[in-house]
Structure 1
Amino acid sequence: MASKVLFKAAFSMYLLLPFFAFLAIADNFESNPIPSETICDSTPNPSYCKALLPKQNAKVHDFGRFSLQKSLFQSRKLLQLANFYLRDKSRFSQGTIRALEDCIFLSELNVEYLSNSNKFVMKTIQTVSTSEVDDAQSFLSAILTNHQTCLDGLMTTASDLSIKNGLLGALSEDTKLHTLSLALFTKGWVHEKKNKTMWDSVGWHSGFRNGRLPLKMSSRVRSIYESLRGRGRGLQSNANDSVVVSDMVVVSEDGSGNFTTINDAIAAAPNNSAPSDGYFLIYITRGVYQEYVSIPKTKNNLMLLGDGINQTIITGNHSVVDGWTTFNSPTFAVVAADFVAVNITFRNTAGAIKEQAVALRSGADMSSFYSCSFEGYQDTLYTHSMRQFYRECDIYGTVDFIFGNAAVVLQNCNIYPRLPLSGQFNTITAQGRTDINQNTGTSIQNATITAADDLAGSVSTVETYLGRPWKQYSRTVFMESFMDSLINSAGWHDWNGSFALDTLYYAEYNNRGPGSDTTNRVTWPGYHVINATDAANFTVSNFLQGDAWLPQTGVPYLSGL
């Protein structure tokens, strides 16, 4: 025990110690010491890696720890720099201010994610669990996504030279560092995971079925719940009470509940509750709620329950054309872990003419959405980062309307391309994976893809594609889904000429319907028609590790194919 304490104290001061001293007290791992040059040759940017890592022989875990500590140090510096720029807002346009505010928000998340990851890598390999590896890889993948989102926002809005020469330069350099940290983590920890194959499994897990909610409540909360049933709210409980609810409040526009706004109800929820405490349930009665909701990271373990699609509606109209960044345009946004939403419509009414206008953005780890609707045009559903699951949801849009860089599975959802602006074509997905080591991608399983009512009469004149590569390592899989005739025979569209066509991963497996014929699909190096074994990698069990966290939500899901 004493040696571990000594090691941790010494390593936290690595900037002040020569690297050989750090190695002398490092834990004994199974891998053999090798030169930093050897490790660097297999990273995405060998020259940067060689310049950063000390020229010593060490184990990959030692180098990984070193890089992660450096990433944490640089993320704190970036946060300070962004805050410095915002001290004098009079210098900048409203668009630049909002982009800087996004960067501060995202940098704060990165500092937390890196702190959590550094705690994990201090453990010896013998004490590491597969779930902890998955958690840390998700954190490190999200760090790059957050970093890229900050960079994209500033590139789009910032015109001030001090930002372009200062903050953008720091962001670009730190991208190399975070990429290296993820690569070394992947080499040192991820390769030791043992994934199971679920391609031949039925794996059905029931939950909110036929309107019955498997909720376990205290007698006080149960009395509130039952009183709502008595008032004709349509709520029913299940005999199998498997989802723990710690407390419950009601939001109602007519004043009959505890609150009249969703934001007030969220503010009343406890902070930083443990998963074992159960969910804080916010029941939102039918009505149209015109408010912008952003659930911070401290409000974890929230469950929002509405009266149904098109009954409980949360709506707004922020858009890029009206001065918002894409990241802060959502009607509803959440980054708090273990979030559940059921029976709610999330809507952005800005319209196609206002370009990017997000209905919902989720960066909430282990978040799930069941029987919800997402309505917009361009950039409707922003699956930004971390691990997410959507079941039996309706998604409407035109351009890139399911986008982001989460590890996400959309299962049994209805996808409705709408009528775009004149001259536009529809793209269902725009996946934003920037690094080959990120555990992210969009998996769409057993979906039904048909034209929305406004597009139905124009299918022959409007091209609709499954997706296009927003970022270099874009990864999207459609499997076991029905594709109507509106899907263009090529299937996929390029983003900008040959960009990413050999580095993306687009795949189709066992789809059906007139639009599913792969005979005339694109011939890009990154496009694949895959078999069941490959498709199994993108199931709930393997891609999201969903069997470890979805049962507690009560949301039904299929583990495998």
Structure 2
Amino acid sequence: MTSKLFCFLTFSYLVLFSLFVSLSFADSNSTSPVSSVTVCKSTPDPTYCRSVLPNQTTANVYYYSRYSVRKALSQSRKFLMLVDKYLRRNSTLTTSAIRALEDCRLLAGLNMDFLLSSFQTVNSTGRILSSQRAEDIQTFLSAILTNEQTCSDGLQATASAWSIKKGLAVPLANDTKLYSVSLALFTKGWVPRKKKSTAWQPKRKQVGFKNGRLPLKMSSRTRAIYESASRRKLLQSTDNDDEVMVSDIVTVSQDGTGNFTTINDAIAAAPNNSVPADGYFLIYVTEG
């Protein structure tokens, strides 16, 4: 592992259970032939969906879902390369702009991991998944959407990175649409029928970035772990309403020096029934 650490905590997974919409219904005729025009009606942006899916009258929902996830994986790689391109010009960037880009790079890497896991699942079966496995993949695909917004927010909050934001805005927007299509088609094809639950609604304003960083509120123990892993002091906020409460923290490092060696293992260790008011389970991923 290199000595440099990604400086951003994987906030995407922290907010995931707040933003995650409950399971919806899979079609009972997911194996029946359907046109892309018809299948795209179940997505948030049918026009965009039709522009990216092939129009094959003999294809079914499973085919379109696999196609969209595979295309999303390809686009996530391209976005990561684009972010790296900007980072190579770091001699002309401010520290806050570099940090915002590093955040986006980490999130793009997470997106690739989540999409790869999702594609391996949908490519291995043509049947409706178990409730647990379906929820796992929905969690991954929902996290990707949150990661896209987190990247955009971080760049937006860093004034000096605005020129970079302009260069990333279009691919961010298009990729977000594609990820939304992937989530909708996966839900349509693979998620078993389950009673819908009420989506959580925030009771206070959403937290924001300050100078491209996210203010976090931790206990002395979690603060010590964070500062040791990130090698920087925790950002302090004078407004408690702007802080994100962290109940626990784990680190992921491929060389075995962290709590886990893979992101999936860390996610599996996250409490299943936590609520935002109690604080979030935070995962810190090191580079390498």
| TM-score, with length taken from structure 2 | 0.64
Partner of 1:42: 42
Shift of 1:324: 5.0
Q: Any residues of structure 2 matched to 1:139-288 within 5 Å, and which? A: 139-160=140-161, 162-190=163-191, 192-194=192-194
CA 1:357–1:366: 2 relative to 1, 3 Å? same
CA distance in 1, matches of 2:151, 2:73: 17
- Matched-pair contact (CA < 8 Å) for 1:366–1:389: no
Q: Any residues of structure 2 matched to 1:388-467 within 5 Å, and which? A: 389=274
Partner of 1:537: none
1:325 aligns with 2:210: no
Question: For this pair of structures, how many residues does the alignment match?
Answer: 216
Structure 2 unaligned spans of 5+: 1-28, 198-207, 224-233, 250-262, 282-288
Task: Say which SS state the counterpart of residue 365 (structure 1) adopts.
Answer: helix
- Matched-pair contact (CA < 8 Å) for 2:118–2:140: yes
CA distance in 2, matches of 1:145, 1:51: 23
CA 1:94–1:51: 2 relative to 1, 3 Å? same
Partner of 1:55: 55
CA 1:32–1:157: 2 relative to 1, 3 Å? same
CA 1:180–1:354: 2 relative to 1, 3 Å? same
Shift of 1:161: 5.7
Equivalent AA in structure 2 for residue 389 of structure 1: S
Instruction: Spell out, residue by residue over 1:519-552, the C-alpha distance to the aligned partner (whole angstroms, 9 max, x if none).
Output: xxxxxxxxxxxxxxxxxxxxxxxxxxxxxxxxxx
Match of 1:365 among 267, 281, 285: 267
| TM-score, with length taken from structure 1 | 0.35
Task: Say which SS state the counterpart of residue 274 (structure 2) adopts.
Answer: strand
CA distance in 2, matches of 1:78, 1:38: 29
Equivalent AA in structure 2 for residue 360 of structure 1: V
CA 1:127–1:40: 2 relative to 1, 3 Å? closer
Shift of 1:92: 1.8
Instruction: Spell out, residue by residue over 1:426-481, the C-alpha distance to the aligned partner (whole angstroms, 9 max, x if none).
Output: xxxxxxxxxxxxxxxxxxxxxxxxxxxxxxxxxxxxxxxxxxxxxxxxxxxxxxxx
Instruction: Spell out, residue by residue over 1:293-330, the C-alpha distance to the aligned partner (whole angstroms, 9 max, x if none).
Output: xxxxxxxxxxxxxxxxxxxxxxxxxx965x4511xx44
- Matched-pair contact (CA < 8 Å) for 2:72–2:179: yes
Task: Say which SS state the counterpart of residue 110 (structure 1) adopts.
Answer: helix
CA distance in 1, matches of 2:235, 2:88: 33
CA distance in 2, matches of 1:172, 1:139: 19
- Matched-pair contact (CA < 8 Å) for 1:141–1:182: yes
Equivalent AA in structure 2 for residue 46 of structure 1: P
CA 1:154–1:403: 2 relative to 1, 3 Å? farther
CA distance in 2, matches of 1:160, 1:344: 32
Task: Say which SS state the counterpart of residue 124 (structure 1) adopts.
Answer: coil
Task: Say which SS state the counterpart of residue 389 (structure 1) adopts.
Answer: coil
Q: Any residues of structure 2 matched to 1:482-561 within 5 Å, and which? A: none
Partner of 2:94: 93
CA 1:368–1:112: 2 relative to 1, 3 Å? closer
CA distance in 2, matches of 1:194, 1:43: 19
Which has the larger displacement, 344-353 or 79-88? 344-353
Equivalent AA in structure 1 for residue 56 of structure 2: Q
CA 1:359–1:324: 2 relative to 1, 3 Å? farther
CA distance in 2, matches of 1:196, 1:320: 32
CA 1:32–1:350: 2 relative to 1, 3 Å? same
1:80 aligns with 2:81: yes
- Matched-pair contact (CA < 8 Å) for 2:128–2:190: no
CA distance in 2, matches of 1:110, 1:162: 24
- Matched-pair contact (CA < 8 Å) for 2:103–2:151: yes
Task: Say which SS state the counterpart of residue 85 (structure 1) adopts.
Answer: helix
CA 1:357–1:89: 2 relative to 1, 3 Å? farther
- Matched-pair contact (CA < 8 Å) for 1:71–1:114: yes
CA distance in 2, matches of 1:52, 1:117: 19
Superposed CA RMSD: 3.5
Equivalent AA in structure 2 for residue 365 of structure 1: I
Shift of 1:94: 2.0
Partner of 2:115: 114
- Identity rate of aligned residues, in percent? 41
CA distance in 2, matches of 1:184, 1:96: 35
Task: Say which SS state the counterpart of residue 34 (structure 1) adopts.
Answer: coil
Task: Say which SS state the counterpart of residue 38 (structure 1) adopts.
Answer: helix
CA distance in 2, matches of 1:52, 1:357: 39
Task: Say which SS state the counterpart of residue 360 (structure 1) adopts.
Answer: strand
Shift of 1:157: 1.1
CA 1:54–1:325: 2 relative to 1, 3 Å? same
CA distance in 1, matches of 2:179, 2:235: 37
- Matched-pair contact (CA < 8 Å) for 1:158–1:164: no
Task: Say which SS state the counterpart of residue 153 (structure 1) adopts.
Answer: helix
- Matched-pair contact (CA < 8 Å) for 2:155–2:161: no
- Matched-pair contact (CA < 8 Å) for 2:30–2:62: no
CA distance in 2, matches of 1:349, 1:118: 37
Structure 1 unaligned spans of 5+: 1-28, 198-318, 333-342, 370-386, 396-401, 405-561
| Greater RCO, 1 or 2 (C-alpha within 8 Å, sep 6+) | 2
- Matched-pair contact (CA < 8 Å) for 1:35–1:56: yes
1:352 aligns with 2:238: yes
Shift of 1:130: 2.5
Equivalent AA in structure 1 for residue 246 of structure 2: L
Structure with the higher strand share, 1 or 2: 1
- Matched-pair contact (CA < 8 Å) for 1:35–1:55: yes
CA distance in 2, matches of 1:93, 1:50: 40
- Matched-pair contact (CA < 8 Å) for 1:320–1:355: no
Structure with the higher helix share, 1 or 2: 2
Shift of 1:127: 7.8
CA 1:30–1:147: 2 relative to 1, 3 Å? closer
Shift of 1:352: 2.2
